[in-house]
Structure 1
Amino acid sequence: MKIALAQMKMSMDRAENLNRAVQKIQIAGMQGADLVLFPEVMLTPFFAQYPAAMLSGMGIAPEAFAITEEDDAMEALSAAAKEAAVYVSPNIYIKEEDGACYDRSYLLAPDGRICGHADMVHIFSAENFWEKDYYTPSKDGFKVFDTPFGRIGIVICFDRHIPEAIRSVALQGANIVLIPAANLTGEPLDVFEAEIRAAAYQNNVYIAMCNRVGEEDALSFAGQSVIVGPDGTIMAKASGEEELLCAELDISEAFRSRAIRPYIGFVSPNAEVYHMAGESESLVAPSMDRLFHAMCEYDKGDAPRIQHFTKVWTYAKLIGHGEGLDVNTQNILEAAAILHDIGIHKAEKGFSSSAGSLQEKLGPGEALKVMTDLGFDRSIIARVCYLIGHHHTYTDISGIDYQILVEADFLVNILEDSLSSEEAENAYKTIFQTATGKKLFRDLYPEEGPYDPKKK
C-alpha cells in the first residue's frame, strides 16, 4: 500500500485549513495513495499552547475550537475521501453531546463512511502544551481498525511516549501505526525519531508520524514527519516545510518480521496495563522444532518420509512468509505441513495402502495425540486436523493455509512421484494460486526448460 503524510501549516481560519486538507487528499489520490494521514488538530491553530484560563479571560471558551461529528467539516473530509477513493485519518478537536471534548483521530473509508475513531488516552500538560485544560481522556483505550491493507492502530501524539501505547495496538494485531503529532523545533527531535524507530522494531510494525509545520505565535512546529519500517529503518522523512511525504509499505514485511522476531509474543497482554479497546491476538508461536522432532520420532527409521515432510514444511513456511500470513495462520500451516502424512504408516499397516483417502481418514487422530502431548492450543489442533483430513482433496479449497499446504505438497511430489512435464504443468495451472507458490514452482520447473522427471 502507498501511504501519504500531509505535513501542513495551520492558520487561524478553519475553512482555509479544511480546504487545504481537501486539496491534500485530492493530490494524494492522484499520486496513487491508499491512505492519507494528517497532523494533530489539523483544522485549528494549536490552541493548547494557551492555558484555558487565559483564553477564558479573553472571552474564549475552551470548546470554541471544537466541532461535532455532525459538522460540515467532517462531511467535507468524508466526501474528499470518497472522491479520491482513499482512506483518510484526520485528527480533530471534537465535542460530544455531554460537553466533553476529545483529541480525536478518525479513520474514513474510501467510500466516505467513518470506520471508527480513537481518542488520546494520556493527556499531557506543561508549558506550551496545556492539554489537560482541553482534552478528556479516552473512554475506550487504544483501538485498531481492519482494512484490506492490514490492521491499523492509531496512537495520538503524546501517547507515543508511553511505551505501552504502541505495544497495545501491536498486541491487538496492528501492522501499521498512525501518529498525528505536534512536535516543536526546540524539542529533542533526534530522540523522538529514535523512540519511533525502537518502537517499530520492538513491535514489528510500520509507524507513520505526521507533524505540523510553521510558526504559531511563540511556537515553531518542526515538520520532519517520518515513516519507519518494522525493522526500525527510516523509509521516508520530510523536511521542515509543507510537504506530502509518501512511501510504499509491504504489509507482509510486518508479518514476516513478527514471525522471525516475535518479541511481543512473550508479553502478558493485560488489558488494563495496555488500555486495549479490543482483544489481543494469540502471538506466541508454538515450538515447531519440538513438533518436528516429535514427528521424526514417530517416523523413526523412515528416511524418505522424514525427508518428505521436511521439504513440505520448508516450502510451506516460505510461501506463508511470502504471502504475509498472520502469526496464528502461519503456525497452523507449519504444523499441518509437518504432520500432513502422519496417517500413512497406519494406512500401510492396516490396509496395505498409502492412498490419499486413507491418509485423510487416519491422519487427524494421530495428529491429535501428538499435538495434545506437546500442549498445542485446541483451536490450532482443530484446524490442523481439518487440513490433514483434506490435504489430498483439491476441490473447494477453503483458506489460505489449506491452499499453501496443497501447493507445498505438490512442489515436493512432482519430483518424488516423477510426474511428467505435462502433469506438472497441469498442476501449475489448476492448483497453484499464490504468487510465492507460483514463483517457487517456476524456480524448480522453468517454463522455458521442460521439466524432465528422469533427470536427477
Structure 2
Amino acid sequence: AHIWGPDGEHYAHSKTHIFPAERGWYTQEGDKMAVFQLPFAKVGFNICYEAEIPECAATLAEQGAELILTPSATFTEQGFWRVRHCCHARCIENQIYLVHCCLGGNPGGPLPGCWARSSILSPCDVVWKNPQGIIAEAHVNQEDVISGEINLDVLYENRLGGAATTFKDRRRKAGIYNIWPSHIK
C-alpha cells in the first residue's frame, strides 16, 4: 500500500500477514508496522487480512496511530463482513479511526469478483453521531466516493473519559499480560 503526502513524500507498507488463499500468488510478507505523520493525522496501514490480526492494529496504536487505512479485496460477502467486523473491533480496542477502502467488481488476474462496501469508522461512543460507529459508508458493490470528518480532539477526549476507555485500560494493565506464556510462539 502506498500514500503520498502533500509535499510529495512517499510512504509504503508491505502486508505482514498473507491471507491463506493468497499464498500461492508468489507474494512476500513484509515485516514492519510503521506510522507516518501526515498533516491531518498519524496514519498506519493494515492491509485486508491484517485487520483480522489484533496485534497489527495494536502495534500501530502503540506507535501513535490515530487513523488506520485498510485497503481490502474480499472474494465473498462473508469475507467482507469478517474484515469489516474486525476493522470495527480494532477501532474500539485501540480507540482510533479507520478507513476501510474496498476493491469491488471483477478486477481480473488472480482475483475473482470482489464484494465491497467502503466505510469510515470510529469507536462506538456517545461523542460520535452514529451509535454504530459509522462516519460514512458507501453503497454495496458500487463505485462510490465517501467523505467524513474525523476529529482528533474528540478521539483523545474519548480515550481519556469515554464510556469504554479500552486504549488507556489496556496500557494501565499491561503488566498482567506478560504473566502468562505467550500464545504467539
TM exceeding 0.5: yes
1:225 deviates by 0.7
Are the structure 2 counterparts of residues 264 and 243 from structure 1 closer, same or farther at C-alpha, using a change threshold of 3 Å?
A: same
**Secondary structure of 1:215's match?**
coil
Q: Does 1:117 align with 2:12?
A: yes
1:176 deviates by 0.4
User: Among residues 243, 254, 257, which one is paired with 2:158 in the alignment?
Assistant: 257
CA distance in 2 between counterparts of 1:203 and 1:169 reads 9
Deviations 1:164-212 (A, max 9, x none): 1111101111110000110233424344332222210110100101011
1:107 match? 3
1:238 match? 138
Are the structure 2 counterparts of residues 117 and 191 from structure 1 closer, same or farther at C-alpha, using a change threshold of 3 Å?
A: closer
Are the structure 2 counterparts of residues 111 and 197 from structure 1 closer, same or farther at C-alpha, using a change threshold of 3 Å?
A: same
2:93 match? 202
CA distance in 2 between counterparts of 1:192 and 1:146 reads 25
1:248 match? 149
Are the structure 2 counterparts of residues 190 and 133 from structure 1 closer, same or farther at C-alpha, using a change threshold of 3 Å?
A: closer
| AA matched with 1:133 | W
CA distance in 1 between counterparts of 2:152 and 2:142 reads 29
TM-score normalised over the length of structure 1: 0.33
| AA matched with 1:226 | S
TM-score normalised over the length of structure 2: 0.77
1:438 match? none
1:159 match? 50
The structure richer in helix per residue is 1
Are the structure 2 counterparts of residues 191 and 181 from structure 1 closer, same or farther at C-alpha, using a change threshold of 3 Å?
A: closer
Which has the greater radius of gyration? 1
Are the structure 2 counterparts of residues 222 and 169 from structure 1 closer, same or farther at C-alpha, using a change threshold of 3 Å?
A: same
1:131 deviates by 3.5
Confirm or deny: 8 A CA contact 2:48 2:83 kept in the other structure: no
Confirm or deny: 8 A CA contact 2:44 2:67 kept in the other structure: yes
Confirm or deny: 8 A CA contact 1:157 1:181 kept in the other structure: yes
Are the structure 2 counterparts of residues 136 and 190 from structure 1 closer, same or farther at C-alpha, using a change threshold of 3 Å?
A: closer
Are the structure 2 counterparts of residues 189 and 106 from structure 1 closer, same or farther at C-alpha, using a change threshold of 3 Å?
A: closer
**Secondary structure of 1:165's match?**
helix
User: Among residues 30, 48, 52, which one is paired with 1:138 in the alignment?
Assistant: 30
Are the structure 2 counterparts of residues 156 and 192 from structure 1 closer, same or farther at C-alpha, using a change threshold of 3 Å?
A: closer
| AA matched with 1:197 | H
Confirm or deny: 8 A CA contact 2:49 2:83 kept in the other structure: no
Query: Which runs of 4 or more aligned residues in structure 1 lie more than 6 Å from their structure 2 counterparts after TM superposition?
Result: none
Output the aligned Cα RMSD: 2.3
Confirm or deny: 8 A CA contact 2:46 2:70 kept in the other structure: yes
User: Among residues 78, 101, 104, which one is paired with 1:187 in the alignment?
Assistant: 78
Are the structure 2 counterparts of residues 109 and 182 from structure 1 closer, same or farther at C-alpha, using a change threshold of 3 Å?
A: same
Confirm or deny: 8 A CA contact 1:143 1:153 kept in the other structure: yes
1:134 deviates by 2.2
Gaps of 5+ in 2: 125-131
Confirm or deny: 8 A CA contact 2:95 2:159 kept in the other structure: yes
User: Among residues 160, 169, 180, which one is paired with 2:60 in the alignment?
Assistant: 169
CA distance in 2 between counterparts of 1:183 and 1:124 reads 10
Deviations 1:13-44 (A, max 9, x none): xxxxxxxxxxxxxxxxxxxxxxxxxxxxxxxx
CA distance in 1 between counterparts of 2:23 and 2:76 reads 19
Identity among equivalent positions (%) equals 25
2:114 match? 221
CA distance in 2 between counterparts of 1:185 and 1:123 reads 17
2:128 match? none
**Secondary structure of 1:253's match?**
helix
**Secondary structure of 2:20's match?**
coil
**Secondary structure of 2:98's match?**
strand
Are the structure 2 counterparts of residues 132 and 205 from structure 1 closer, same or farther at C-alpha, using a change threshold of 3 Å?
A: farther
2:129 match? none
**Secondary structure of 2:13's match?**
strand
CA distance in 2 between counterparts of 1:122 and 1:112 reads 28
